[in-house]
Structure formats: C-alpha cells, structure tokens
Structure 1
Amino acid sequence: MNKVGLSVCYDTKNFGSQLQVLATINQIEKLGYDTEIIRYKKKISLSLIIQNIPRLFNGQYINGLIKSNKKNKLLSKYPEIVDNIKIRNNRFSKFANDNFINVSNFYYGWHSLKNAAKKNYDMFLCGSDQLWLPSNLESHFYTLEYAPNEKPKISYATSFGVGEIPWYQKNRTKKYLNRLNHISTRELKGAEIINDLTGRDVQVVCDPTLLLTKEEWDKLIPNHTVVNEKYIFCYFLGENENHRLQAQKLANQFNLKIVTIPFLDNYVEIDRFFGDYSLYDIDTNDFVNLIRNAEFVLTDSFHGTIFSILNNKKFITFNRFDSKSKNSRNSRIDSLFKVLNIQERRYNSKLELSEQIIKDIDYGTVINNVESLRNDSINYLTNALAASE
C-alpha cells in the first residue's frame, strides 16, 4: 500500500486546524492509502539564521510577532486566565495525541528531512489551511521543497490566506508551485494567484472538513452536551468589540445565555466580562458539540462557519479583518459563501442582527451545493493520488 507523507499543521492550538487534519487523514485512508504526518524540527545554525533574515522585512510576520507579544504581555496581568489557557492548551495536545496516531519520528534538520523523504514515503501531500501564507514562505516545509523531484507532490485545498503575493516573493512562490505535480486550492483567489504565476488552471476544492458528511462527523465526534442551558455560541477570534455588543443585544432579545471560548488568537479586554460561560477546559470534540447544540452561532471563524453549515444552524458570520487591509484573510469566507450562495449570512451592520439571524436558510439547496463541491473535491483527490502511484 502506498504511503503518503503529510505536511500538515496538526499540533497547533486551533480547533479548525485539528479538524481539517483529521478530515484529510480520514479521506485519504478511505481511498486506500497509508498516511503518516511528517514531523520536522529545524536545527539552529548560521545558515538558518541567514535564510530567515528576509522574514524581518515581512510586514505580516512582524505584525504577528508584535500581536503575540502584546497578547502575552496583557494576559500576564491575569494569572488565573494564563492558568486557564494552559489547561485548554493541554486539552489541544491531548486531542492531537489521541487522534493523530500515525506520526513520524522527529526529523531534526533539513538534511535529515530530505533523507527520510527519499526512503520513507511514496508520495507527499500538503494541505489544508493557510499553509502558504507569505509569512510562512521561509519554512520550506509546507511547500514540499524537501520532497525529491522524482516523487509525486500534491496540494489539497492549500491556501495563501491573502489576496495577493508580495512582489518580492513571486519568483520563489512560482518555483515551489511548479514543482508540484497536482495543485488544488481552497479559494477562488488562490486559483487566480496560481494561474498568474504559473499559467496553470487549478481546481478550487472544498476545505477538508467538508469532505465528510454530517453523518460521518457524527460518528467521528459523537454528540454530547457541553452546556446545559439554551445558548448562543459566540466564537470570535478577532478583536472587534462591536461584534460582542451585538451578540449581547441578541442574547437579551431572545433570553439566551452566551457561551464563549476567549483569548484564543487575541487579548480583547471586553472578553474578560463577555459571556455567561467562558470555556477553557474543552477540546476540539467539545468545540464541534458547542456548535451542534447552540440555538444560534455568531462567529468570525472560517471553521466555525463550516460546522454551522454542516449542522444546519442559524448563524451569522462577521468579518474578522478589514476588507481593505493588505493583511485581510477574508478571501476564504468570500469564496465559501460565493460557492454555496449564502452571502446573506454575512453580518450586515445596516440591519438588525435579530432580523438577519432568524431568517430561514434553504439548507436543502445549501447541502446540495456542498455535496456537489464535495464530490468534485473527492474526485480531484482520488485522481491525484491514483496518478501518483
């Protein structure tokens, strides 16, 4: 049986990332292939330091460092929150250890990784999520640059996460894209970027989490109750305080509790007091079930949106990023809503939130659109893997 080496982000402290890796592995193994998550750690050396100097001029990378340092500094004032976040991070790690069994030993250093790639795998796949963010370019791992030229290399639903590639990265981006035997991307904008750089027309496929039906997710993550009251699940990763205020207004109108998972990506001052249930001691299974059992879902998250759709929830998606910002990552939600024709589930500040969320969703049509996208995506994956044997 052919063995597929996976370059995926499985151990991050992010619900969506863990779910898309779980779905990727599940689907590839259903198609009859062995999988192994490749684990790579860089060796600190002078050449590595020199290689990473360009990152110091990457605005997105620097902004990420500044934001992370700011978050940690602000949280340090509240030891009880820091302790609670450690509990949640431990739950993330336990989920990864329990669910991602087929993992390699750690390959330390680039030469070790390249040697293992020659000996241990028949083909390679990277995906999904925003692995091709410009700020990630210097890693060379999620671009499969370590894989031998003669072995097949596939991308599944890999995303750039941005609307355009910085001019100074275009040649290097073109180079790694041209090494891939089969390319698919998750966003319409991603397909445009690839075509502009390489001249290749590539397929836009669904996020891996949509490869599995609701029934398959129900088996993979059984239903259980996390909160025993009727509630609105507010899953906000961004910093917009108005989104929280709108949620509180909605909760008051419908006499519902608010459930949150605070301080995942950012420190937002209002989140110290926002919500009736601020949850920390939860894992990715709980995240899915919080969506399943909510009366309404309010989110600025891509995967929060996807699991709302899969579970036929009444939901509204807010923009996490300013659409005019160069660092905006709204394109993945733009693409999803366009493909599924559900643009009306985007928050519109000119309307009352209560009016927007109670509108019925034609889930018969939506799920038909999901199934069509899913079938096309499974066909891509099936053909790409078969052609690589």
Structure 2
Amino acid sequence: MGKIGICACYDTFNYGSMLQTMATLKQLEIMGYEYEIINYSRKLTVDLLFRSIGRIPEELHERIIKKKKQKQMSAHPNIKVAIQQRNSCFKDFIETHFVDKLSEPCDTYKQLQIIATHYDAVLVGSDQLWTPRGYSTGFYNLMFVPDEIPKLAYATSFGVSSIPENKKGIAKRFLNRMNYISVRELCASEIVNELTGRDVPTVVDPTLLFSGDEWKKMVGERHILNYKYIFCYFLGNNPEQRREVEKLQQETGYKIVCIPHLDEFIEEDVEFGDEQLFNVGPAEFVNLIRHAEYICTDSFHGSVFSILNHKQFITFNRFKASDTNSRNSRIDSLFKQTDLQDRRFNGNLIDSIQCPIAYEQVEDSLIEMRKKSLDYLEKALGNTVK
C-alpha cells in the first residue's frame, strides 16, 4: 500500500489542533495506511515574499496587536513564566505523538514540491486550514502538489461563512485541483458548490471519529483535580461571559477552573477563576473536561469533548454574528447535526446548563455521521492510494 503525505496543523500550541491531528493519524493507522506528516516550516524567500505580499497589511496589524498584548503581559511576569510551562506541555505532546511521524524537514516552496513527489497521495485536514488569508502560501491548499499526484481533503474548514470576492479566484483554482473534497461545516459545502459546482460531503471533525471511551484509551484517564468544578475554557475576550460563569459558581458552590491566555493575553482573566491551570497538555485538557461538573466554553473543541464525554455544557459565541472573521459556523454546524442548538448561551446560564441532554439521541446522530465520514475516507483513499 502506498504512502500518504499529511498536511496538518500539528505544531500549533492549541489543544484542538493537536488532538484532531492525533485523531487523523489514528484513523489512518486503523485503516492500515502508511503516512508522514509533511514537516514544513516556512523560510522567508523572495518567492514566498512575492506570493504573500497581499497579506502584509493583515500581518502588520496583527503584529501591532501582539506587541500591545506583550506590553500588557509584561506587568505580569509570573504569567509569562506559566505560559512557557504550558508550551513545554505542548512540546512534550508533539515529541511523544508526532516527531517520529514527520517527513524530512523542508522550509522552501521548492522543497515542498520535491517532497510531494514521494507520496502516492497528499491529504489535508482538518481544522481551519482554508481561511482566505492563507491561500498565498500554497501549503494547506496543496498548490505545491503536482497535478498528477492525487489531492484529498478531509473535514477541512474555510473558517468563515463566505469567501471575499478578491479570494474567490484562487479558491476556485485550488478546489478544482482536488480529487476528493470533504468539509467540516455545512456552509463550507455550499461554498465549494458555489465556486466549483461540485457537491461535496460534510464530515465530522477527526476528533469525533472516536467515542469518549475510545479517547479514554488514546490519552489515558486521570483526575487532575480532587474537587467539583466548573471548567471554563474561553478563547475570546468577552468579560460578560465570565460574569455569567461567576453567577453559576454562586448558585452551585463549585470552583471555577480555567486555562487562560491561550490565543492571546486577556487582562480580564488575570483575576478570573478560583484556579488557573497552565501545566496542561492535550491529554490533561481532555481529562479536565471529562471530570468537570459543568463546562462553559466558546471553543469548538471544548464543545466537541463535552459532547463526547456526555457533559452538561453551554457554548458561548466567541464572535459577533456580524463579524467578518467570525468562526461561529463550525459550532452552528455541529449543533445542527446533533440537535444541540439549545446548548448555545441564551442569556440564562444557570437554567440552561442544568437542562438535561438526550445523549442517547446525540450518540445515534454521531454514529450515523461517523459512518458517512468513514465511507468517504475509505472511498477517497481506496481510489487514490494503491
């Protein structure tokens, strides 16, 4: 059987990214395929600079914001040290689960083009890898892969509900080069159809290919804390959401446990919660959800692992519906498919989070969704990897 090259976001210090990479690799192993994660770290070359010139205004804006956040964090040196400790947990996870599965390093587009010829097919997925701002790099959209080598996408996300007009041309081009496409969100299927005329399946995020019990075997089970707690996992900066959780704490008497400052330093979170955890890798993240009394989150994967572990949870919106950079669609799609729309925050956290969830029906939906997803994978890989 041939070898598959994997384009996955395995080295971003993010729980969801690492866990879905782990799940993707596990599923390929179950199916008996040989693979490598393509070990690409971009080196600034004239070619990359030319292709990325349209991103310069966005990147300058991001750097300004990042410097502002770093200045704010400088007043809290203990947090900086704690974040370094968390980063060490991520590095340990990469070392344990991914390092021996990496290809030879490549840091230029030319090297990418050469390494692509080593595979019988190249697979991209999952995560928000087709966000419009990243098209110019040519990596996650597989533009570096020669025409004659099959290109597949599993549960890949655009990250947005619509593609800007000035990005539709390149999106149409890379989508038309794909031999097999599956996407993670319902709206992503509509985007592909609009741009290419192709009807493509919506499949589950790789983390959902496995049940809560299967994840228990994959990452192990242990109690991180020995008391009852509300696990709070917020990526966005929405102070009013923290206030709602504090009301729930007053009602229940449970402690608030949180993992702060993941995507960015948030001043509001310096004093939020009864216990702030930093020595937490992806395995510990899953276990914190598994043993919590309640979960409050604005995260897609926070929601996923709450569902897999049959927890009482509520998901807040991280973005406003009017925000052009909103990533709410992936949660909208998941909740629609599992009939869990009532797990969105509706203004009354105390009542809504305690409302029972019909997890037997949710599991029935997940079983059907997994079957559809695995059918796609078996067909796509079976027809391209010999």
- The TM-score with structure 2 as length reference comes to 0.97
Which residue number in structure 2 is paired with residue 48 of structure 1? 48
Q: CA offsets, 1:339-365, max 9 Å, x none?
A: 11110010001xx21110111000000
In the TM superposition, what is the alpha-carbon distance from 1:66 to its structure 2 partner?
A: 4.0
Q: Which runs of 5+ in 2 are unaligned?
A: none
1:76 maps to a residue whose letter is S
Cα distance between partner residues in 1 of 2:30 and 2:42:
32
Q: CA offsets, 1:194-241, max 9 Å, x none?
A: 110000000000000001122211110111011111000000000000
Contact 2:48–2:137 (CA under 8 A) maintained in structure 1 = no
Match 1:364 to one of 360, 365, 375 = 360
Which residue number in structure 1 is paired with residue 105 of structure 2? 106
Deviates more, 1:85-94 or 1:61-70: 61-70
**1:117 aligns to 2:113 (yes or no):** no
Q: 1:268 to 1:136 in 2, by over 3 A?
A: same
In the TM superposition, what is the alpha-carbon distance from 1:116 to its structure 2 partner?
A: 1.5
Q: Secondary structure at the match of 2:313?
A: strand
In the TM superposition, what is the alpha-carbon distance from 1:29 to its structure 2 partner?
A: 1.4
1:374 maps to a residue whose letter is R
Identity of aligned residues (%): 46
Q: CA offsets, 1:23-55, max 9 Å, x none?
A: 000011111101110011333222322221111
Which residue number in structure 2 is paired with residue 38 of structure 1? 38
Cα distance between partner residues in 2 of 1:340 and 1:16:
19
Deviates more, 1:287-296 or 1:275-284: 275-284
**1:132 aligns to 2:155 (yes or no):** no
Q: CA offsets, 1:123-154, max 9 Å, x none?
A: 11000000001111122100111112111110
Which residue number in structure 1 is paired with residue 18 of structure 2? 18
Q: CA offsets, 1:96-127, max 9 Å, x none?
A: 11011311121131111111211x21111000
1:36 maps to a residue whose letter is E
Contact 1:246–1:353 (CA under 8 A) maintained in structure 2 = yes
Which residue number in structure 2 is paired with residue 213 of structure 1? 211
Cα distance between partner residues in 1 of 2:73 and 2:57:
27
Which residue number in structure 2 is paired with residue 179 of structure 1? 177
**Residues 230-241 of structure 1 mapped to structure 2, 5 A cutoff:** 230-241=228-239
CA RMSD in angstroms comes to: 1.2
Cα distance between partner residues in 2 of 1:346 and 1:62:
34
Q: Secondary structure at the match of 1:108?
A: coil
Q: Which runs of 5+ in 1 are unaligned?
A: none
**1:147 aligns to 2:161 (yes or no):** no
Contact 2:154–2:183 (CA under 8 A) maintained in structure 1 = yes
Q: Secondary structure at the match of 1:44?
A: coil
Cα distance between partner residues in 2 of 1:323 and 1:266:
21
Which residue number in structure 2 is paired with residue 2 of structure 1? 2
Q: Secondary structure at the match of 2:155?
A: coil
Q: Secondary structure at the match of 1:35?
A: strand
Contact 2:257–2:275 (CA under 8 A) maintained in structure 1 = yes
In the TM superposition, what is the alpha-carbon distance from 1:62 to its structure 2 partner?
A: 5.4
Contact 2:229–2:254 (CA under 8 A) maintained in structure 1 = yes
Q: CA offsets, 1:254-285, max 9 Å, x none?
A: 00001000000122222111111100111111
Match 1:300 to one of 298, 301, 319 = 298
**Residues 1-389 of structure 1 mapped to structure 2, 5 A cutoff:** 1-58=1-58, 64-100=62-98, 101-118=100-117, 120-349=118-347, 352-389=348-385
The alignment covers a number of residue pairs equal to 384
Cα distance between partner residues in 1 of 2:283 and 2:42:
31
In the TM superposition, what is the alpha-carbon distance from 1:83 to its structure 2 partner?
A: 0.8
Q: Secondary structure at the match of 1:204?
A: coil
Contact 1:184–1:205 (CA under 8 A) maintained in structure 2 = yes
In the TM superposition, what is the alpha-carbon distance from 1:67 to its structure 2 partner?
A: 3.6
In the TM superposition, what is the alpha-carbon distance from 1:388 to its structure 2 partner?
A: 0.4
